[in-house]
Amino acid sequence: MTRISTLAWGLALSIVPAAIHAEPFKLEGDPSPALIIFSQKNDGGWSQSLDEARAKVEKELGITIPVVENVPENATAIRPAVELFIDRGANIILGSAFGYSDTFLELANQHPNVAFINPAGTTNAANLQSIYGRTYESQYLCGMAAGAISKTGKLGFVAANPFGLVNWTVNAYALGAQKMNPDATVTVVFTGAWNDPVKERAAAEALIEQGIDVIGQHVDSPTPQIVAQEKGIYGTGHHRDLSEFSTATQCSSVWVWDKYLTPTIQKIAAGEWEPGPYGAFLSIKEGGTDIACCGDAVSEEAKKQIMDERQAIIDGKQVYAGPLADRDGKERVKAGEVLSDGDLWAMDWYVKGVISQQ
């Protein structure tokens, strides 16, 4: 995934919009989207999930969506790429990075008749919506799979940085595992990078040496899954179905952007699109993430429990519902309450059973 600063993500849902939107956005002509990707589109993770969604939307809507890849997160690269697409007739611009946020806002203001949608962005306007997914929902479900197949109850997790959007996946993974095995623990190692296969390999191998027998992840590459296969343990993936790379992978938290983009483009075309002033924080039901589950190591009974829980989440169950305390015993969510979105983004604590250096 793109580079993210702690402060920026912590403030992602508290940015004050430039204006309050009173009327739906009006598109001129038929929808003509274009996608701009900050890295290579076949990276195996974040960017590839967006490009695969692009292909699905093309098929579902019967349109062509051109794409340009390797557009760095700076205005001097973003601006000409977007303006070239607009000059060629594009009226819906799809982004892919936090670092596009400010430039997309500038371009949205300069091109009020063009719609902008930016996954991982933080800026919003009458014709711009930033979107992200409630990845803790799918990681909770993969945690259930991990807890079900672990023989030791010792799970590992390779993560990038201890930011809110990573911490919520670690905690949810632990909560899911503990639903299947109340004594399960999750030892997490942070690499300090979103995509560094060398560090990811070192972290995964260190965790395995400590006795874990299932490894989860919130990093971009499939390296932890590859190491799991090499070492004869199981794993769960992130971004895409990583069983493509490893027979060890039993569940993956996967982006399903097309489930959001297809109906949203239809709304834009129909004049019914009203971007929220704080962006869109997408659940499984709304087209954020979902799961690719389950591998052969997951029993039919456990698989049914996982899929029943998935349906419960779709029906409204909250992963972070009270009563919930952190690992130090401090109450974080009172009985009958649910953790707020602001508190999710600011999450700097861990639930019982999570072992980390932080």
Q: Give the model confidence (pLDDT) of 204-248 as tens digits.
A: 999 999 999 999 999 999 999 999 999 999 999 999 999 999 999
Q: Using N-to-C axis directions, what is the helix angle for 101-110 and 75-87, rounded to 10°?
A: 40
Query: Which residues is 251 bridged to in the sheet?
Result: 236, 293
Note whether 40 and 221 are within 8 A (CB).
no
Sheet with 280-282, side-by-side order of all strands? 67-68, 33-36, 92-94, 115-119, 128-133, 280-282
pLDDT at 20: 46
pLDDT at 119: 96
Q: Give the model confidence (pLDDT) of 104-147 as tens digits.
A: 999 999 999 999 999 999 999 999 999 999 999 999 999 999 99
pLDDT at 307: 98
Q: Give the residue ranges of DSSP H helices in the chain.
A: 6-10, 46-61, 75-87, 101-110, 135-149, 164-180, 197-209, 223-231, 257-270, 300-314, 341-345
Bond into 142 cis (ω within 30): no
Phi, psi dihedral angles at 332 (to 5 degrees): -110, -30
pLDDT at 23: 84
pLDDT at 22: 60
Q: Give the model confidence (pLDDT) of 140-192 as tens digits.
A: 999 999 999 999 999 999 999 999 999 999 999 999 999 999 999 999 999 99
pLDDT at 98: 92
Structure-token pair, residue 276: 């929220």
Domains within the chain, CATH numbers bracketed: 6-134+256-282 (3.40.50.2300), 135-254+290-355 (3.40.50.2300)
Collapsing DSSP states into helix, strand and coil, what is residue 273? Answer: strand
Bond into 323 cis (ω within 30): yes
Average pLDDT over residues 256-279: 96
DSSP state of 73: S
Closest CA to 157 of 113, 115, 208, 106: 208
Query: Which residues is 154 bridged to in the sheet?
Result: 185
Question: Cα separation of 312 and 306, whole Å?
Answer: 10
pLDDT at 357: 81
Note whether 6 and 22 are within 8 A (CB).
no
Confidence band for 18, pLDDT divided at 50, 70 and 90: very low
Confidence band for 14, pLDDT divided at 50, 70 and 90: very low
Confidence band for 21, pLDDT divided at 50, 70 and 90: low
- Express as a percent the part of the chain with pLDDT over 90: 91
